[in-house]
Amino acid sequence: MKKIMLGLSLACVLPMAAQSLPDSTDMFFRHMELKEVTVTGAVGEMKMKESPMPITILKSKELRELPSTNLIDAIAKQPGMAQITTGGGISKPVIRGLGYNRIVVVNDGIRQEGQQWGDEHSIEIDANEVSSVEILKGPASLMYGSDALGGVLVFKGAPTLPEGTIKGGVNAEYHSNNGLLGGSINMAGHQKGFVWDARYSEKHAHAYQNRFDGYVPNSQFGERAFSAKVGLMRHWGYSSLKLGYYNVNPSIVEGERDTVTGELVSENESLKTYRHGLPYQRVFHYKAVSETFVNMNAGYLKVLLGYQQNRRMEFEESADECGLYLQLHTLNYDVRYVSEEREGWKFSTGLNGMGQKSLNLGEEFLIPDYGLFDLGVFATASKSLNRWNLGGGLRIDYRYLDSKGLMEDDEPRFEDFTRHFGGVTGSLGATYEVSERFGLKFNLARGYRAPNISELASNGVHEGSLRYEIGNHDFKPEYSLQADFGFDFATEHVALQGAFFANHIQNYIYLHRIDSIVEPDLMTFEYAQGDAFLWGFEAGLDWHPFHALHVGTAFSYVNAQLLRQPNEMKWLPMTPAPRLNAEVKYELSHDAKVFNNAYVSANLDWYLQQNHYFAAYETETMTPSYLLLGLSVGTDVLRHGKKIVELHLMVDNLTDACYQDHLSRLKYADFNVVTGRRGVFNMGRNVVLKLVVPIG
Residues 6+ apart with CB under 8 A from 4: 12, 13, 79, 495, 497, 540, 541, 542, 552, 553, 554, 581, 583
Mean pLDDT to the nearest integer, 492-496:
91
Is the CB of residue 631 less than 8 Å from the CB of residue 650?
yes
Q: Is 162 exposed, middle or buried (0-12, 13-18, 19+ CB in 10 A)?
A: exposed
Each residue's pLDDT tens digit, 195-234: 999 999 999 999 999 999 999 999 999 999 999 999 999 9
Q: What is the largest CA-CA distance in the chain?
A: 80
Helix residue spans in 397-520 (DSSP H): 453-457
Looking at residue 464, its pLDDT comes to 61
CA atoms of 480 and 444, how far apart (whole Å): 11
The domain ranges of the chain are: 26-188+195-695
pLDDT digits (tens, 9 = 90+) for 431-488: 999 998 999 999 999 999 999 999 999 998 876 667 889 999 999 999 999 999 999 9
pLDDT surpassing 80 at residue 300: yes
Cα three-residue angle 187-189-193, rounded to 5 degrees: 155
Both ends of the chain: CA-CA distance in Å? 32
The answer to whether 381 touches 337, Cβ cutoff 8 Å, is no
Cis peptide bond prior to 67, omega within 30° of 0: no
Task: Report the distance separating Cα 660 and Cα 321, nearest Å.
Answer: 34
Per residue in 228-244, pLDDT tens? 999 999 999 999 999 99
Q: How far is CA 10 from CA 58, 146, 388, 494, 641, in A?
A: 11, 27, 17, 13, 32
Give 524's contacts (C-beta < 8 A, 6+ positions apart).
467, 468, 470, 513, 514, 516, 517, 518
pTM > 0.75: yes
Tell me yes or no: is domain 26-188+195-695 CATH 1.25.10.10.
Answer: no
pLDDT of residue 23: 40
Per-residue model confidence as pLDDT tens digits over 617-630: 888 999 999 999 99
32 DSSP 8-state letter: H
Task: Give which of 3, 184, 189, 194 is closest to 81, Cα–Cα.
Answer: 3
Average pLDDT over residues 49-67: 86
Phi-psi region of 337 (alpha: psi -120 to 50; beta: other; left: phi over 0): beta
pLDDT tens-digit profile of 527-582?
A: 999 999 999 999 999 999 888 999 999 999 999 999 999 999 999 999 999 999 99
User: CB-side exposure of 544: number of CA atoms within 13 Å?
Assistant: 29
How confident is residue 694, by pLDDT bands cut at 50, 70 and 90? very high
The answer to whether residues 515 and 496 touch, using CB atoms and an 8 Å cutoff, is no
* Contact between 145 and 424 (Cβ < 8 Å): no
What average pLDDT score do residues 169-188 get? 97
What SS3 state is found at 454? helix
- Answer yes or no: is pLDDT of 18 > 70: no
Distinct helix (H) and strand (E) counts, the chain: 5, 38
**Averaged pLDDT of the chain:** 89
Average pLDDT over residues 684-695: 96
SS3 string, 212-255, reads: CCEECCCCCEEEEEEEEEEEEEECCEEEEEEEEEEEECCECCCC
CA angle 441, 497, 80 (to 5 degrees): 90
At residue 668, the 3 state secondary structure works out as: helix
- Say how many C-beta atoms besides its own lie within 10 A of residue 359's C-beta: 15
Q: pLDDT per residue over 20-44, tens digit each? A: 333 434 444 444 445 567 776 666 6
Residues above pLDDT 90, as percent of the chain: 71
Give the dihedral of Cα atoms 40, 46, 48, 51; nearest 10 deg. -80
| Whole-number Å distance between alpha carbons of 506 and 349 | 28
- Say which residue, 511 or 210, is predicted with more confidence: 210
